[in-house]
Structure 1
Amino acid sequence: MWRGVDYYPEQWDEAFLEEDLENICELGCNVIRIAEFAWHLMEKTEGNYDFSFFDRVIEKAKEKGLKVIMGTPTATIPAWLVKKHPDILSEFEDGTVRTFGGRHVYCFNSDVMYEYSEKIIRAQAEHYKNEDAIVAWQIDNELGHEDSDICYCPKCRCAFQGFLEQKFEGNIDKLNEIYGTTFWSQEYNGFDEIPLPSKTITTHNPALRLDWERFRSESIVKFANFQTALLKEIIPDAVVMHDFPGGGLGKHVDYSEVAKNLDVVAYNNYPVWGGQKEPLPANEIAFGLDYIRGLKRENFWITEAIMGAQGHDVTGFAPRPNQAKLWSYQSMARGCESLMYFRYRGATKGAEQFCYGILDADNVKRRKFHEVQGFFNEIKNYEKELSAPVKSEVAIVYDYDSLAAFRIQRQSFLLDCEAEMKKFHKVFFDANVPVDVISAGSTLSGYKIVILPQMIIAKPDFQKQVKEFTENGGTLVLTFRDFVKDENNNLLFKKVLPVDFDEFAGIYVTETESLQEGQEFPLAGEEDFSCTQGEGGIFRDLLSVTDAEVLFRYNDVFFKDYAAVTKKKQKDGYVYYLGCGLDETILKQLLKKMVDEQGIVSEHSTDGVEIVYRESEDRKIKITMNHNACEVQNAGVTLAPFECKVEEVRK
């Protein structure tokens, strides 16, 4: 278990090094994370590599018994490189070139970026390939973050045209046919005529735009794989990881694809950031952790855990005493097995002066220092349990192409695909049922309930896997806007909805509509839900039933004959169809029924109290976390504000 801090010794007088490392050891750390933003320090002029500064840092760290996570410095290219090759910079949609001065200002399709990145990484890896103190290599930093996943430069247009030419095997007529370019006279005579989908009158072709989204993702995946392969070539046994930012489901890159070739997935966990009035709710923090764990369905690292207020230009909410410590416990409970705090000391210069660290600029040890020290001293006692895999019987499945399809055609002002996933997740979170948030490329083995919120793109191979999962005893939950389009983002002729799942679900969609605020509609329960009344909204599929059981009907004057929620037995399993957005009361009752049908264990707890169990071969522990800013009672136990209790329980 690595316990550490993000340390930027290059930002301080080297005379502080000895004292800093002693303080880091006093915190209970065994690792430091360094060098991710230090390209210029390593290569002040082209081809003149100098790693002497970090050599001294590493030697001092070794003297203190500290290990090192070394970053490749490609997130922040040096000014001399931009001066020599200004076309390395990426462009905004309006054609404005991004100016040197921030981070991630390079274009992922720049040959120059690849050339110089290879040179610096190769020199760095060759220099440190025999350094035993380095326990992991971090490639770049938060790939695709802060809109760096989008570029509209000429290099990207050329690369996008090449991407399409390869996909369609050089056959422009095939592209025209699949895209339906006869619409609005958009036929192309050659791939070099294809534009980037920047602003135009009305909108671009949805099939073109989905391929653009795939191209954007591939651009970043290739760059990540390039760095990983280069490090593995030079240091075959290197542990290669990447620190993913929050908000991964909204990026123009499929992080599950980035993760495939990494040894370790890491996460920068920011429950609160500058400008937020208050932190994210506990269930949303948990959702982010479950999503990161789901990238590889393996435990992960936290490379940036916060302790102080954060913000670039606007300073954020300061975590209350023990609140950030609680978030660290929550991370470990939900699959983090190594954790580093951002940052050891807050900066006095540069863009992150208001990203407060364990120590502030005055360099005085106060509450935050002792909170981190207490956490590290406590958490190391549970290393075996927290290193064991997290076992979840419920999966919420997302699909990058489907998320992109909703970015392209929103369809409803109220529909937020990630928010819909979080609604399901919250119900399980409140019942203390573990959940994995996984990509559609993952296996479904080991799960009892699988939920597919708004999976609008119908992919035959995945649909086959889902049907087998259900027939073998699983509970499948389909929702409105599932399986509406083909893999090219087109509607399918002579296919009823859900595409190729109408018979399997025992229903078909007769009509559909999008709703806005104030257009919620009543729902009436039947069978087990005959005493339940509630509301629906956002979207409404009018379901005609062939051989499914009706659980809820629309209870308004025009659509009483249509089902809203149905269930069908499929061999050993069940398939549910939720035809509209459901209020929390109905959703809770439905999911409780599914949990009970599958024999999944849940546990009641006081509002705001989270319970997680972890176990090794020898011991099982119960982690009880109070996310409330007040004292509460849970199962006869008093919990102080933001207190976490860990106890051994019978296996």
Structure 2
Amino acid sequence: MKIGVNYYPEQWDKVLWKNDITQMAEVGVKVVRLAEFAWSRLEPTEGVYDFGWLDEVIALLEEKGIEVILGTPTNCPPLWLYEKYPDAVMCDEYGNKVTIGIRGHRCYNSPSMIKKTKQIVSKMAEHYGKSKAVVSWQIDNELEAYHCTCEACTEKFRTWLKLKYGSLEQMNKTYGTAMWSGEYSDWSQVKPPMGKQQHWLNPGFLMDHYRFASESMEQFVRLQTACIREFDKTSSITTNMYLGNMTPDFYNTFQDLSYASYDNYPVTVIPDGKEEIYSHAFHLDLTRGIKRKNFCIMEELSGAPGCWMPICRTPKPNMVKGYALQAIARGADLILHFRWRSAMKGAEMFWHGILDHNNVQGRRYQEFRSLCETVHDQLGFLEGTVIKNKVALLFSHEQDNAFKFQQQAQGFHYYSQLKLFHNGVMRTGAGIDIINMTEDLSGYEVIIAPTIYIASQKVVDNLTLFVENGGKLILTNRTGVKDETNACVMENLPGPFAPLVGAYVEEYDALGDSKNIVQMRNGNCYTCSQWADILQEDTAQVLGVYGEDFYKGKAAITQNTYGKGTIYYIGTILERDFYYDFMMEVFRDTTVERMEDLPDGVERSIREDLNHRYMLLFNNTSHIQKINIVDQEPFELQPFDLHVIDLRS
């Protein structure tokens, strides 16, 4: 396990380099990421490469025993490239070229961009492929499924659709383009989604364009991977993900990469509201689930974020250290803080780093030093340990996008239910994986599959087999609504899952911000909102009913037996306490480990190898928590602190 930083020597006077790197080594930095935005310095004019300055920096790092992760600089092509090859510039939803001068405005499908990408990445790989200091490569930066409407993207999108559907007739039939006279009579009429009100466009068409955009990004990653592998057969390769507005399919993105990486910027203000879920444990578990193994934090919070938005509150004492330790507790083996120095110039000058503009070794610097000492000197025994859980939460990028294309109710978002279940499981002290909806489910005892809005036969068969073999499955509202073409099914919801559920949706109410009540058969009552499936039970037992409105007394939550297993269906979205109480009941008669009386906000995880099991308790609150564990002396856990217990000692 290693702690490192992001460093941008191209942005600083050369006289600072040696002192900076000496200081990094002294404070405990083991790894540095370089060059992901430095194309204009690496190739100042076309075909003229200057690696001398980067060689010098890498030599200084190698001298101090610091490893290097080298970024390919394709996120920020130099201005000469855009000027000479205008097809490399993305086009917006109106077909106009975007204004250049900030990052991420290259087109993945541009012939010129592809050509220049091959050249710069190959030159870098040839130059650094045998460097002992370079241990890993990062492709580009925070890649997205960009919505580009340029000529190259338009033509490639048409070709993509031709290959998928074979004919305009089949595509028209699949999309249902008879709606609003939207039928295509010639392929020339097919263009990427255009205009401001894109949520009015055909949902099947929008989903296909998202798939095309994601695949275009994946091809861009594979292109660069191949360039690197031509000269470097051994170094690991990754890219850094971020959950943005145009999130690609990360499962496909990372399929052939060495490990998953995430840019982690947790909140610096803990919300007061009881119902707000703020922990980045969800994001960390999602990252671990991409390749179902330990991962890297390529950018970690170092100070107050702020650039294209107002500056956030500064991290409270122990936050910078604590959030890094939280990531380790969720399976991170490498954490790089962004950034070593706060920028003096440019757009990111107020995205604060370890060192502030005044160059003083302040509070956060000392906290970072303490983190390095803790990880490198005290937590080395965690090296080689992994996380194994018996509970999994299923995730799908397509479900998220389908909700974005057609919002179902006010305030109702795909992630909302996932986070509620994830938080409910964490509060029980149980561990939870977040994995691809199509993954093999063997080894799990409980599967939580919220909102399978688009239901493929593969997912239906996978979950059916899981239940038949004795698993416990939780399904929720807006399940089985659509098929893979993003078209509604003509059957009672939850569609293909109805035989499992043993009940069907008689009617639904898009509650939005309105409230209702669910009364459980054990007498507990919970507030619900956003959505209400009004259920009619068949073979299922009713666990909870609605307490208000015209469907008062109607089933809201059911339980059914199928094969050797059990299926729960939750037709609404409830307050946070419900998910804790409910998951505690579901875990009965399972071997899922949990912890009674775990304080709210304390996160428990287990890292283990063949010979050891370690319990990690992280206090993700701003107040002291009292911890009581059977056969252990009670102790206090400070805000944002981590406590490790050897379970086999």
Aligned to 2:154: 157
Counterpart residue identity of residue 258, structure 1: T
Alpha carbons of 1:534 and 1:607: their partners in 2 closer, same or farther (altered >3 Å)? closer
1:352 aligns with 2:351: no
Greater shift after overlay, 480-489 or 596-605?
A: 596-605
Aligned to 1:499: 495
Aligned to 2:556: 564
Aligned to 1:580: 572
Aligned to 1:16: 16
Residues 336 and 386, structure 1, Cα contact 8 Å, conserved in 2: no
- 1:523-571 per-position Cα deviation (integer Å, ceiling 9, x unaligned): 2322xx2x12233321122211111111112233632463211111122
1:545 aligns with 2:537: yes
Aligned to 1:85: 85
Match of 2:317 among 299, 314, 321: 321
Residues 480 and 580, structure 1, Cα contact 8 Å, conserved in 2: yes
Aligned to 1:184: 180
Give the alignment of 1:202-601 within 5 angstroms. 203-245=200-242, 247=243, 250-272=245-267, 284-313=279-308, 314-380=310-376, 381-493=378-490, 495-517=491-513, 519-526=514-521, 529=522, 531-556=523-548, 558-560=550-552, 562-601=554-593
SS at match of 1:311: coil
Give the alignment of 1:41-190 within 5 angstroms. 41-144=41-144, 149-169=146-166, 171-190=167-186
SS at match of 2:173: helix
Whole-Å separation in 1 of the counterparts to 2:549 and 2:180: 40
Whole-Å separation in 2 of the counterparts to 1:573 and 1:589: 21
Match of 1:612 among 602, 605, 615: 605
Alpha carbons of 1:317 and 1:568: their partners in 2 closer, same or farther (altered >3 Å)? same
1:640 aligns with 2:638: yes
SS at match of 2:569: strand
Whole-Å separation in 2 of the counterparts to 1:10 and 1:643: 36
Counterpart residue identity of residue 158, structure 2: Q
Whole-Å separation in 1 of the counterparts to 2:3 and 2:163: 46
- 1:400-441 per-position Cα deviation (integer Å, ceiling 9, x unaligned): 222221111112112111111111111112222211112213
Greater shift after overlay, 363-372 or 39-48?
A: 363-372
Counterpart residue identity of residue 165, structure 1: K
Aligned-residue offset at 1:598: 2.0
Aligned-residue offset at 1:46: 0.5
Aligned to 1:35: 35
- 1:12-65 per-position Cα deviation (integer Å, ceiling 9, x unaligned): 121222211110101112221111111011101101112111111111211111
- 1:283-308 per-position Cα deviation (integer Å, ceiling 9, x unaligned): 53111111111111111011111221
Counterpart residue identity of residue 538, structure 2: T
Aligned-residue offset at 1:481: 0.5
- 1:227-278 per-position Cα deviation (integer Å, ceiling 9, x unaligned): 1122123212231011112x25x53411221111110111111013899999
SS at match of 1:501: helix
Residues 399 and 414, structure 2, Cα contact 8 Å, conserved in 1: no
Structure 1: which 5+ residue stretches go unaligned? none
Whole-Å separation in 2 of the counterparts to 1:511 and 1:542: 5
Greater shift after overlay, 89-98 or 417-426?
A: 89-98
Whole-Å separation in 2 of the counterparts to 1:206 and 1:303: 35
SS at match of 1:418: helix
Residues 304 and 313, structure 2, Cα contact 8 Å, conserved in 1: yes
SS at match of 2:193: coil
Aligned-residue offset at 1:143: 0.6
Residues 330 and 625, structure 1, Cα contact 8 Å, conserved in 2: yes
Whole-Å separation in 2 of the counterparts to 1:93 and 1:275: 37
SS at match of 1:550: strand
Alpha carbons of 1:5 and 1:639: their partners in 2 closer, same or farther (altered >3 Å)? same
Whole-Å separation in 2 of the counterparts to 1:464 and 1:386: 38
Counterpart residue identity of residue 573, structure 2: G
Residues 299 and 387, structure 1, Cα contact 8 Å, conserved in 2: no
Alpha carbons of 1:297 and 1:506: their partners in 2 closer, same or farther (altered >3 Å)? same
Structure 2: which 5+ residue stretches go unaligned? 629-633
Whole-Å separation in 1 of the counterparts to 2:439 and 2:582: 25
Residues 107 and 148, structure 2, Cα contact 8 Å, conserved in 1: yes
Residues 136 and 239, structure 1, Cα contact 8 Å, conserved in 2: yes
Residues 150 and 252, structure 1, Cα contact 8 Å, conserved in 2: no
- 1:185-204 per-position Cα deviation (integer Å, ceiling 9, x unaligned): 22212222123222377822
Alpha carbons of 1:33 and 1:581: their partners in 2 closer, same or farther (altered >3 Å)? same
Aligned-residue offset at 1:324: 1.3
Residues 303 and 339, structure 1, Cα contact 8 Å, conserved in 2: yes
Residues 273 and 310, structure 1, Cα contact 8 Å, conserved in 2: no
Aligned-residue offset at 1:108: 1.8
Whole-Å separation in 2 of the counterparts to 1:296 and 1:618: 23
SS at match of 1:574: strand
TM-score (norm 1): 0.94
Residues 268 and 314, structure 2, Cα contact 8 Å, conserved in 1: no
Residues 524 and 534, structure 1, Cα contact 8 Å, conserved in 2: yes
- 1:203-226 per-position Cα deviation (integer Å, ceiling 9, x unaligned): 222211111111121121111121
Alpha carbons of 1:423 and 1:276: their partners in 2 closer, same or farther (altered >3 Å)? closer
SS at match of 2:101: coil
Residues 91 and 97, structure 1, Cα contact 8 Å, conserved in 2: yes
Aligned to 1:602: 594
Residues 409 and 510, structure 2, Cα contact 8 Å, conserved in 1: yes
Whole-Å separation in 1 of the counterparts to 2:213 and 2:148: 8
Aligned to 2:619: 626
Residues 270 and 622, structure 2, Cα contact 8 Å, conserved in 1: no
Counterpart residue identity of residue 488, structure 1: T
Aligned residue pairs, count: 639
Residues 300 and 337, structure 2, Cα contact 8 Å, conserved in 1: yes
Counterpart residue identity of residue 625, structure 1: F
Aligned-residue offset at 1:153: 2.6
Aligned to 2:631: none
Among all aligned residue pairs of Structure 1 and Structure 2, give the percentage whose two residues are the same amino acid. Answer: 33
Counterpart residue identity of residue 385, structure 2: A
TM-score (norm 2): 0.94
Aligned-residue offset at 1:125: 0.5
Alpha carbons of 1:270 and 1:647: their partners in 2 closer, same or farther (altered >3 Å)? same
Residues 272 and 310, structure 1, Cα contact 8 Å, conserved in 2: no
Aligned-residue offset at 1:623: 2.4
Aligned-residue offset at 1:281: 7.1
Runs of 4+ residues over 6 Å off in structure 1: 273-278
Whole-Å separation in 1 of the counterparts to 2:266 and 2:38: 27
Residues 273 and 311, structure 1, Cα contact 8 Å, conserved in 2: no
Counterpart residue identity of residue 73, structure 1: P
- 1:52-102 per-position Cα deviation (integer Å, ceiling 9, x unaligned): 111111112111111111110101110100111122111222334222211
Greater shift after overlay, 99-108 or 585-594?
A: 585-594
